[in-house]
Amino acid sequence: MKKTHSMLFVPGIIMLGIVLRTPFTTLPTVLSDIAAGLGVDVSSLGLLTSLPLLTFALFSPFAIQFAKKLGIERLFFLVLIAITIGSAIRIINLPFLYLGTILIGAGIAFLNVLLPSLIQANRPRQLGILTTLYITSMGMSTAIASSVAVPITKATSWQGLVNILTALCALALVIWIPNIRYNHHLKKTATTESSSKWYTNKYVWAIMIFGGLQSLLFYTSMTWLPTMAVQAGLSKVESGLLASVFTLISLPFSLTIPSLTTRLSDRNRHLMLAIVVGTGILGVAMLLIPTSNFFYWLVLNALIGSSVSSLFPYLMVAFSMKSSTPEKTAQLSGLAQTGGYVFAAFGPILFGYSKSLFHSWTPAILMLLVLTIIMAIALYQVEKVDHIL
């Protein structure tokens, strides 16, 4: 593989981080404005929140094949074109809103799977730093976009907000263009050789289960914790503050976890991960105690938020650390993330359905607690070996 890369490789990585979530996570904050603008009931837009996750799961398995044929950098260029077009057409009408969301989701699915391989192919010695860059830019852009979405929509319209998001995607596309000439192809032999063996590798299953349950814990918590807080007796203002804490607490962990994962000794990394998982289990367990105390809810949101915010960047680094080549990194990433987004898409739905079925949050919380413990066991298995593929 080529070892050279463009001077705009690092700015390109930062812009890819922005594009990873911002184009679709911003719109749920202004769903009522979108519904009013399109002349439809807001309930008809409910699928917008789960559709990207389902699209991730559907398209992730195809990322490696396209990267082998086109090369990673060239594929990312085409993906950014698709994401930009998908974002732009959302302002036309309801069918195009959904079509654009599918295009965005399909493009981001490829970015999700192949970004670890891109970094490993270009700058393997800066794995932790570059992973930190794109995960931090993803978190910061998501938080900023969500906070300014309502003011922008009020000042212009929901179409104005979408146009700004489209401009960000277009900027990422322009910045990425110089990287095309340093195109890295995934080798066909490496993936083919290992593809027939992965399902007999228990450590592949371990990282798939860990990745899936990590995603489930994150998206279920993000979706339902504010509602649970309100039903427990907190005000909507307090609930909104808790949601902000859950989101913003990710930033310091995005900055530190990737580098710590690559630099710590095995013993210290295991200790760090034990603390991270333990805080998540404690936070979920605290949901079993009914209370309207704001400080109590603040603590449990901080515990769960810090746990999931640490486990995601660890997972992104682990794909490269636990594989021997960029090709196997892509395969491992694809396997784990395909299963992960299936979990993430259906987890919040089933969590809410359980509340409707049992008229209580307790059964759903207990199941979430069990799944979090299973996630911890799967992580333990992942950390038992230096290489999975």
Indicate the residue type of 287: L
- The pLDDT, as a whole number, for residue 120 is 85
- The pLDDT, as a whole number, for residue 332 is 86
* 293 confidence band (pLDDT: 50, 70, 90): very high
Q: For 245-261, how does the pLDDT look when each residue is reduced to its tens digit (9 = 90+)? A: 887 888 888 888 988 99
DSSP designation for 92: S
265 and 373 in a common domain: yes
Q: Which of 147, 166, 186 is the last residue of a domain?
A: 186
Q: For 207-217, how does the pLDDT look when each residue is reduced to its tens digit (9 = 90+)? A: 989 998 998 99
164 and 209 in a common domain: no
CB of 253 closer than 8 Å to CB of 308: no
pTM above 0.85, yes or no: no
Q: Which of 162, 186, 210 is the last residue of a domain?
A: 186
Question: Looking at residue 119, which CATH number applies to its domain?
Answer: 1.20.1250.20
180 and 207 in a common domain: no
pLDDT over 70, % of the chain: 95
199 and 95 in a common domain: no
Q: For 318-370, how does the pLDDT look when each residue is reduced to its tens digit (9 = 90+)? A: 988 888 888 888 888 888 888 778 877 788 888 888 888 898 999 999 999 99
Domain of 29 in residue numbering reads as: 9-186
* 77 confidence band (pLDDT: 50, 70, 90): very high
- The pLDDT, as a whole number, for residue 192 is 46
- The pLDDT, as a whole number, for residue 2 is 47
Q: For 157-193, how does the pLDDT look when each residue is reduced to its tens digit (9 = 90+)? A: 999 999 999 999 999 999 999 999 989 887 765 444 4
234 and 152 in a common domain: no
Q: Which of 186, 212, 242 is the last residue of a domain?
A: 186
Task: List phi, psi (to 5°) of 151.
Answer: -60, -40
Cα separation, 311 vs 332, whole angstroms: 16
175 contacts: CB under 8 Å, gap ≥ 6: 8, 11, 12, 15
- The pLDDT, as a whole number, for residue 4 is 62
Q: Is residue 36 part of a domain?
A: yes
Report the number of distinct structural domains present in the chain. 2
DSSP designation for 21: T
159 and 249 in a common domain: no
Q: Which of 93, 121, 94 is nearest to 5 (CA)?
A: 121
- The pLDDT, as a whole number, for residue 31 is 81
274 and 153 in a common domain: no
181 and 201 in a common domain: no
- As given in the structure block, the two tokens for residue 72 are 């990673």
**Please, what is the end-to-end C-alpha distance for the chain in angstroms?**
19
234 and 157 in a common domain: no
Q: Which of 26, 77, 72 is nearest to 52 (CA)?
A: 26
